[in-house]
Structure 1
Amino acid sequence: MNRILDGMRVVEGSAFVAAPLAGMTLAQMGADVIRFDRLQGGLDAERWPITKSGKSLFWAGLNKGKRSLAVDMTTPEGREILTRLICRPGEDAGIFLTNLRLRGWMSYEGLKQHREDLIMMAVLGDRFGGPQVDYTVNPAVGFPMATGPEGSSEPVGHALPAWDCITGQQAAMAIIAADRHRRKTGKGQLIELALKDTALAMLGNLGIIAEASINGSDRPKMGNSLFGAYAQDFVCQDGQRVMVVALTDRQWRNLKAATGAEAAVADLAQRLDADLDQEGERFIHRHAITALLKPYFEARTLSEVGTSLAGSDVTWSQYRTFKQAVEEDADCSLDNPMFAMLHQPGIGSYLMPGSPIHFMGVDRLAPAPAPILGEHTLEILTEIGFSNTEIASLHDGRIVASPK
């Protein structure tokens, strides 16, 4: 198996989403990612969703393919172990990923004394190092005030920790960039990435900062419509719901043809004196367009709508619950080479994804389960130079732990 990041060694001390996601992203492309945790497990070791027996499906999901070291980092011996692990020699080592508090021995300055070219990726809450999570950042940048039913005034949050997800991917990319820079210059560095800065950057990248600054306007709530174009949800005869999207000219033509609405839309455009072939005009007149299309969906079941829209190459999707997506969507199954059915110790066998990235000419690295806490303690200590006697003493002194 050709691992695209074969040889890269990353030490991870983290919790929650962004930093663990960054480590998992690298591991799924072949990097050796060693996660260290307290003897009793990390801060998110029991985070929901959990099994009926209390095992964290969240933790298992974000730590696939890593190795695990259980160590008491509050002790001098534990700190020595982690310092040796993080700062081990070799051009592929000396990379530390964390969102833990960086102070004392774990600070960049403290660790750099042991390896001058250390690369440290520090995921922060805000740019000052203050505590922030996705569910505090999102309200701060305005999205809940633009989310929800049209005409409503209450803020609406979301279930997806979007800023965590983007930050995790950016952190992985930053590590690869810093590693490339070190190979060219021999210099390491401290990289800082704040969750709130990620959100604010995307606010600007999507034109929302400019919209507020230049136009002096606030984005209104618009339900399930798509700002600036036409996309709308419809209820079918059997109560099932679908979303249709017409961003491009082709998508708009296909939607009109599939629903038999060409003549009605042309008449509507004439009455409104509007060019509905322009996506902005379709957004402005979305309610009138929806009123024309609504009877088509109300007269057909989901199956009938699906057959018609798929045959007409319309961009559409069925609304599903998470459970329905797992049970019904062929893309969320073994038909998709990203997935494999694997056994997660302590939990059972279920569908696990590998990396969604496919490199041409390189076999996709098969997904791997998350490790048991301390599963690789013995081999990791051996790799960084501890003797069998020393390792036994560390276990006896409750400095490190391995699975029973």
Structure 2
Amino acid sequence: MLAQGILSDLRIVEASNFVAAPLGGLTLAQMGADVIRIDPLGGGLDFSRWPMSNDDVSLFWCGLNKSKRSVALNLGDPEGRELAMSLISAPGEGAGLFVTNFPPRGWLDYDKLKKRRADLIQVTLQGDHKGGSAVDYTVNARVGIPYVTGPVSDDAPVNHVLPAWDVATGHLVATGLLAAERHRSRTGQGQHVKLALEDVALSVMGHLGFIAEAQLGCARGRYGNDLFGAFGRDFACADGRRVIAIGLTLKQWNSLVEATGLAQTIEAIGVQLGLDLAKEGDRFPARRELCAAIGGWIAARSFADVAASFDRAGVCWAPYQTIDELVHTDPACSVENPLFDTVDQSGVGRVLSPRSALRFDAFDARAAGTAPALGEHTEAVLGEVLGIDGAAYGRLHDRGIVHGPW
């Protein structure tokens, strides 16, 4: 068992901001890769992004840059850009790997970098396939999700607070880099891998049937909190606590029927409506009648009684809870779950920090890390990777080309 992680032989340079590209780097770092951030002096566009700690440290930036190293360079100076390009193209069997979501021009231009290292792999994340600007929220608006989210009676778009396309794209950044690195290990060839945030959203919309649905003339409407195409929604218990109960698979549906003891009532609903409620698709048009029966059963019982009945029968369900309740009352979000460690993050305090959600049999899970201070590893990385000694580093520092930790 090796504690350093399954990707400990890889060195990846990252120049990025916001969500998707840093999440790609984080995914790789949590599997053991040495991920080196190139940061501008004073931090990039997202270095002070909300939410913030009481000491004005970005929880957002800290969360997405755990387990990485930070090198702070004056990228407005040709010498600073030269150092950045040298780091990206530096020799090493597991090096020559670069991730960015900045436009691939200037010191980020793939062709320029490739001249320094022929087998370079660069993953460039773009907004759309033409290289235009886009963020999760504009992409989500374009693909139509805000018009199928929200109350049935509402005609206005409803924006989603979870940047789902960023999350999916971040993991594809890591997948794309590893696929290209596998190809290089077999052929010796590097390449420029391009990935567009909008294309990820469009592809998922296709995979999930939304696009074909519209092409066939039955574009998705709004269904509020009802699970489309099956059975599931929110219900209120007698004491006001709310739960979600799902009957997607036949096993889940049978468990819900067993827990509520409503088999005869539900059979009568099926007969009345001429539907076979053992079929997933038939439960959706019967949702109003089914929700009335199951909702009535839940409304007559306390949350504790509903939870006990659901657990005994193996129902697929969950309580609705706030993020505060998740953090302070749910053992899944605590060190009882091996996903989490408690770490001391500079400027933030003692907080829960998740490891990689992947568990490999052949490797110990890498302990959860902290985010670096801006420029914390500048001197060490320039020494290790480029052979810049202390005296040379001091001269670069005095001229404002590099900076140590803030």
Query: Aligning the two structures, in what range does the TM-score lie when normalised by the shorter sequence?
Result: over 0.9
Tell me which residue corresponds to 1:285. 286
Tell me which residue corresponds to 1:352. 353
Tell me which residue corresponds to 1:401. 403
Q: Does 1:268 align with 2:269?
A: yes
One-letter amino acid of the counterpart of residue 259, structure 1: T
Tell me which residue corresponds to 2:6. 4
> How far apart, in 2, do the equivalents of 1:179 and 1:206 lie?
29
Measured against aligned partners, the alpha-carbon deviations of 1:207-253 in whole angstroms (never above 9, x if no partner) come to 1111111x212101011111111111101111111000001111111
C-alpha deviation, 1:105, in angstroms: 2.6
Tell me which residue corresponds to 1:385. 387
One-letter amino acid of the counterpart of residue 140, structure 1: R
C-alpha deviation, 1:376, in angstroms: 0.4
- Give unpaired runs (5+ residues) of structure 1: none
Tell me which residue corresponds to 1:219. 220
One-letter amino acid of the counterpart of residue 168, structure 2: I
> How far apart, in 2, do the equivalents of 1:268 and 1:345 lie?
59
Tell me which residue corresponds to 1:83. 85
1:140 aligned to which of 139, 142, 146: 142
Q: Does 1:373 align with 2:368?
A: no
Q: Does 1:38 align with 2:50?
A: no
C-alpha deviation, 1:277, in angstroms: 0.8
One-letter amino acid of the counterpart of residue 93, structure 1: A
Tell me which residue corresponds to 1:196. 198
2:159 aligned to which of 152, 157, 173: 157
> How far apart, in 1, do the equivalents of 2:336 and 2:106 lie?
49
C-alpha deviation, 1:311, in angstroms: 1.2
One-letter amino acid of the counterpart of residue 351, structure 1: L
- Give unpaired runs (5+ residues) of structure 2: none
Measured against aligned partners, the alpha-carbon deviations of 1:7-44 in whole angstroms (never above 9, x if no partner) come to 10000000000000000000000000000111111110
One-letter amino acid of the counterpart of residue 219, structure 1: R
> How far apart, in 2, do the equivalents of 1:346 and 1:88 lie?
33
- DSSP 3-state at the match of 1:79: helix
Under a length normalisation based on structure 2, what TM-score does the superposition of the two structures give?
0.98
> How far apart, in 2, do the equivalents of 1:173 and 1:206 lie?
20
- DSSP 3-state at the match of 1:290: helix
> How far apart, in 2, do the equivalents of 1:2 and 1:41 lie?
28
Contact 1:151-1:222 at 8 Å conserved across structures: no
Contact 1:233-1:241 at 8 Å conserved across structures: yes
> How far apart, in 2, do the equivalents of 1:228 and 1:295 lie?
22
Alignment of 1:202-213 (within 5 A): 202-213=204-215
Runs of 4+ aligned structure 1 residues displaced above 3 Å come to: none
> How far apart, in 2, do the equivalents of 1:376 and 1:104 lie?
24
Contact 1:39-1:401 at 8 Å conserved across structures: yes
One-letter amino acid of the counterpart of residue 224, structure 1: N
Under a length normalisation based on structure 1, what TM-score does the superposition of the two structures give?
0.98
Contact 1:340-1:367 at 8 Å conserved across structures: yes
> How far apart, in 1, do the equivalents of 2:154 and 2:278 lie?
30
> How far apart, in 1, do the equivalents of 2:126 and 2:230 lie?
35
C-alpha deviation, 1:148, in angstroms: 0.7
Measured against aligned partners, the alpha-carbon deviations of 1:325-352 in whole angstroms (never above 9, x if no partner) come to 1112211110111100000011111100
One-letter amino acid of the counterpart of residue 359, structure 1: F
Tell me which residue corresponds to 1:318. 319
C-alpha deviation, 1:117, in angstroms: 0.8
- Cα RMSD for the two superposed structures: 0.9
One-letter amino acid of the counterpart of residue 382, structure 1: G
- DSSP 3-state at the match of 2:342: strand
Tell me which residue corresponds to 1:181. 183
> How far apart, in 1, do the equivalents of 2:256 and 2:349 lie?
44
Contact 2:66-2:369 at 8 Å conserved across structures: yes
Measured against aligned partners, the alpha-carbon deviations of 1:49-99 in whole angstroms (never above 9, x if no partner) come to 111221100000000000000111111110111111000011210011000
> How far apart, in 2, do the equivalents of 1:78 and 1:8 lie?
24
Tell me which residue corresponds to 2:329. 328
**Percent of aligned positions with the same letter in both sequences?**
47
- Count residues with an aligned counterpart: 403
> How far apart, in 2, do the equivalents of 1:180 and 1:273 lie?
55
Tell me which residue corresponds to 1:60. 62
One-letter amino acid of the counterpart of residue 14, structure 1: S
One-letter amino acid of the counterpart of residue 105, structure 1: W
Contact 2:54-2:348 at 8 Å conserved across structures: no
> How far apart, in 2, do the equivalents of 1:386 and 1:76 lie?
17
Contact 2:124-2:194 at 8 Å conserved across structures: yes
- DSSP 3-state at the match of 2:134: coil
- DSSP 3-state at the match of 1:113: helix
Measured against aligned partners, the alpha-carbon deviations of 1:341-396 in whole angstroms (never above 9, x if no partner) come to 00001111110001000012321111110000010011011111112221001111
Contact 1:99-1:122 at 8 Å conserved across structures: yes
C-alpha deviation, 1:2, in angstroms: 4.4
> How far apart, in 2, do the equivalents of 1:69 and 1:162 lie?
29
> How far apart, in 2, do the equivalents of 1:262 and 1:151 lie?
32
Measured against aligned partners, the alpha-carbon deviations of 1:151-188 in whole angstroms (never above 9, x if no partner) come to 32111111100000000000100000000100111110
> How far apart, in 1, do the equivalents of 2:214 and 2:242 lie?
33
Measured against aligned partners, the alpha-carbon deviations of 1:108-147 in whole angstroms (never above 9, x if no partner) come to 0111111111100000000011100000000100111011
Measured against aligned partners, the alpha-carbon deviations of 1:296-349 in whole angstroms (never above 9, x if no partner) come to 111112111111111110000001111111112211110111100000011111
Contact 2:378-2:403 at 8 Å conserved across structures: yes
Query: Which one is further off, 334-343 or 324-333?
Result: 324-333
